[in-house]
Chain A
Amino acid sequence: MRNIRSIYVPRRQVIRGLLATAAFGATSKLWTGCSSDSATSNSTTESGSGTGSSDQPLVLGFLYVGAKDDYGWSQAHALGVKEIGNLPGVKIVEQASVPETKDVQEVMRSMIDEDGATAIFPTSFGYFKPHILEMAKQYPAVQFFHCSTLWEAGMPENIGNYYADTDEGQFVAGRVAAQTTKTGKLGFVAAKPVNPVIRNINSFIMGARSVKPDVKIQVIFTGDWLEPVKEEQATNSLADQGVDVIGVHVDSPKVVIETAEKRKIFSSGYHADQTDLAPKGYLTGTTFYWAEFYKNYVDMIKAGKKVMDGSIPRVIQGSMKEKYIKLAPFGPAVSEAAKKDAEDAEAKIADGSLLVYTGEIKDNTGKVRIPKGTAYKMTDPVLDKIDWLAEGVQGSVS
């Protein structure tokens, strides 16, 4: 009997695991017959005809890359979604902390098949390629709205884009910063050298230099979207170098703003109003108001409009004029003159007489990037290709 048992010892685990999961597998197979058929037939009818009818609620699916309460990018979206969640006839399905892997596709699929979503809003840049492209191909009747301007001709027709350009907000914030700085040195704590971040740095310094042409800005890239320890060290290092206004573009600017306040220097925020975090040093900040977009989309989709036939515009893009972004209320350190100046600049931007990207603009190696006489509107796709840092930025993108 002893030797009989000895054969089984190394296999015990195998059998254990095998049977345990075989049980799962078997039941799932057995149950396929009765559950999956009905589920799929339901979902196809829903996604096919459910859009226009009023008795079924409009189901919208939202995906976030971070937690819904990260006090950053994802939270800004989630707050916008909260506002449309109360609208009659709208049902929201949300999933947070979805990594940019195959998971994204699985989550979108579940939202469509199981929850009956007819429009999907994946809010992270990284979801677009390949995940949204792939799912849009597989579900041609479902509309996908991605927060970016990445759609190009040849990509599936059921993808729409929406985006709030922050350049104008950063430009005005830069003007405020230039009028507040005493050392003439600005700092910027950034996550990664990618286009949206680079544009925010550039427009910040361009705004600052439009007031004081000799202002410089030192950039520190922390390397990731959420790196609290590095963000703190970066802010301190900048303060050590005599920087007295700090701009920020990381996922959650809280640490940077708080550290700046501890070092008794000024800060310019991002994502949301952070006045409470730095009651003395907070100047202003670019804040998103995604709810405008989402309300707009709900109205259009309810009216039976579709991005596939062009009744919903391919790209909905806007900035200060459309109130998609706003400047946060000015902090006490902002002088009356600077406030007045910022309001003037805002007005000029809104009526189109001031364009942020007006040549001549050089990069920080002295090369002319936008020649004299050329000016780009915020919606120009050329701007999405910017991968250089503007004159006055101390830092490099690689």
Chain B
Amino acid sequence: MSKTPQSRIWIANGLGMLSRYNWRKIAEAIALPVGALLFSLILFGIFCAFCGKNPFAVYGLIYKSAFGSWRSFQGTLLRAAPLMLTALCTALPARLGLMIIGNEGALVMGGLGAIAAGLLLSYGSITPSPEQLQNVSGIPSAGVLLGMALAGIVAGGLWIAVVGALRHYRAVNETISSLLMNYIAIALMNHLVGGPIKDPGETIKASSFSLPEMNRLINLPTTRIHYGLFYGLIACVIAYFLIQRTTFGFAARTAGGNVKAARIAGLPVGKLTVMICFLAGSCAGLAGMAEVAAVHGRVNESLVAGYGYTGILVAFVARYNPIACTLVAVLLGGILSSGGALQRTLDMPDATALVFQGLVFLVILFSESLYGRFRVFKEPIAPIAAPPLPPSSSTTVSA
């Protein structure tokens, strides 16, 4: 027999109210990655101490160079921008149960498509003659950029759609085919810029012709972040809603859960596979377009900078969640920025950044296994005698 039934009801009610916000889960969701990050910093600190560096100086430097000021944070965001898009190339098909690692290839193809469209729209030819170079067409730069973005999307999309189609219609393993297609795309790009679309004026590095200055992707006002960051953010939000809130996304997730069941339910699994793969590739293709339009202004081997492979990791750490992809990309951007500072200021070798990256991701991946392991974050078992919650608060949706 309870002495204070009233207070127990209060507590139960209170817990009920709070549990609507699931505060323990939120606390867990904050504490675990932050804890993982801190732990990986400790590990890295030990590593640095072994190298004869003061770990605390290292921590200060990492913070300062990645997130310490608005100007360094801009550097972090800049590095994060392409990663958000390439991460989607793995994250989207993963919902269908496909393991695609062709991000780098799709990015390169997107860049090639974008430069082709950009040069065609600006000069009327992919290999413009000196006269053509003199008169830039009257198409407004927004139009040219739109054309480039579309071309990048289509080129990257088709590249991965082939992987999806091979998977569905020929049962070719998508992981290996997309990996092979990376190498093929890079070879194709090198071949094209080395011959067919080469700018003969550029003798030091085989490149395509350059876009005119006016048709480049510009920076956000007062910052040095180009609009490619927005492409990433918008694409991630769209991808999130597409997967979580539309019938298309529902169908994809169903097929990803159980192909046989999806077939029985009458879902067009083949079409879904190809479409999701197209969307995935188009995201990476858009990343390629942004790199070409905002950074390089042309296509050459610099386009292959490992954004694709890093994107795979971002997708995994974000657990294929498009919104989480943006945040993980920012975290990684920060790590990439701080790697440079460690070299410049503390005179550590360039590989230190790789060690740091590897440690952070291994520990974060390990932290996934800790969900639900800590008592603190567990929902307490509700008191047996607790009355049902008031009707107003129990109108919860079951997904």
Contact = CB atoms under 8 A, between A and B. Distances in A.
B206 A35 contact: no
Give the size range of A's interface with the partner.
35 or more
B260 interface: no
A27 interface: yes
B127 to A, nearest CB: 13
Contact of B344 (A29, A94, A103, A193): A94
A101 B302 contact: yes
A17 B25 contact: no
Interface in B27-60: 28-30, 32-34, 37
Contacts of A128: 204
B305 A6 contact: no
Given A12-B25, A28-B73, A196-B204, A102 B295 contact: yes
A99 interface: yes
Given A102-B78, A130-B295, A195 B204 contact: yes
Contacts of B341: 110, 114
A146 to B, nearest CB: 11
B93 interface: no
Interface in B279-304: 291, 295-297, 300-302
A194 B330 contact: no
Main SS of chain A's interface residues? helix
B331 A16 contact: no
A255 to B, nearest CB: 20
A1 B70 contact: no
A99 B340 CA distance: 11
A39 interface: yes
A224 B327 CA distance: 34
B14 interface: no
Interface in A209-235: 223-224
Nearest to B334: A24
Main SS of chain B's interface residues? helix
A195 B202 CA distance: 9
A375 interface: no
Contacts of B344: 93-95, 107, 110-111, 114-115
Interface in A88-131: 93-103, 106-107, 109-111, 113-115, 125-126, 128-130
A352 interface: no
Contact of A7 (B30, B301, B328, B396): B396
A100 B295 CA distance: 10
Contacts of A99: 302, 305-306
A106 B69 contact: no
Contacts of B328: 17
Nearest to A223: B190
B382 interface: yes
30 contacts: A4-B396, A5-B379, A6-B399, A10-B244, A15-B29, A16-B30, A16-B324, A17-B323, A19-B30, A20-B37, A25-B67, A28-B67, A28-B68, A28-B70, A29-B73, A31-B68, A35-B68, A67-B350, A94-B344, A95-B343, A96-B350, A103-B340, A110-B340, A110-B341, A113-B71, A114-B65, A130-B296, A192-B194, A194-B204, A398-B195
A194 B70 CA distance: 40
A385 B379 CA distance: 72
A95 B194 contact: no
B138 to A, nearest CB: 24
B331 A24 contact: yes
Contacts of B68: 28, 31, 35-36
A333 interface: no
A140 B210 CA distance: 24
A275 to B, nearest CB: 27
Given A5-B22, A39-B69, A97-B350, A12 B396 contact: no
Interface string B309-350: 000000000110101100110110010110011011101011
A102 B22 CA distance: 41
B200 interface: yes
Interface residues of B, number: 73
B26 A15 contact: yes
B331 A21 contact: yes
B264 interface: no
A101 B204 CA distance: 17
B295 A385 contact: no
B143 to A, nearest CB: 22
Contact of B295 (A40, A101, A115, A386): A101
A94 to B, nearest CB: 7
Given A94-B347, A107-B340, 17 more contacts: A4-B396, A8-B22, A10-B321, A17-B323, A17-B324, A17-B327, A20-B29, A25-B73, A28-B69, A39-B69, A93-B345, A102-B295, A106-B340, A113-B71, A114-B341, A115-B344, A224-B301
B397 interface: yes
Contacts of B200: 387
B203 interface: yes
Between B37, B296, B324, B382, the greatest number of chain A beta carbons within 10 A of the residue's beta carbon is seen for B324
B26 A98 contact: no
B368 to A, nearest CB: 10
B263 interface: no
B327 A18 contact: yes
A68 interface: yes
Contacts of B7: none
Contacts of B22: 4-5, 8
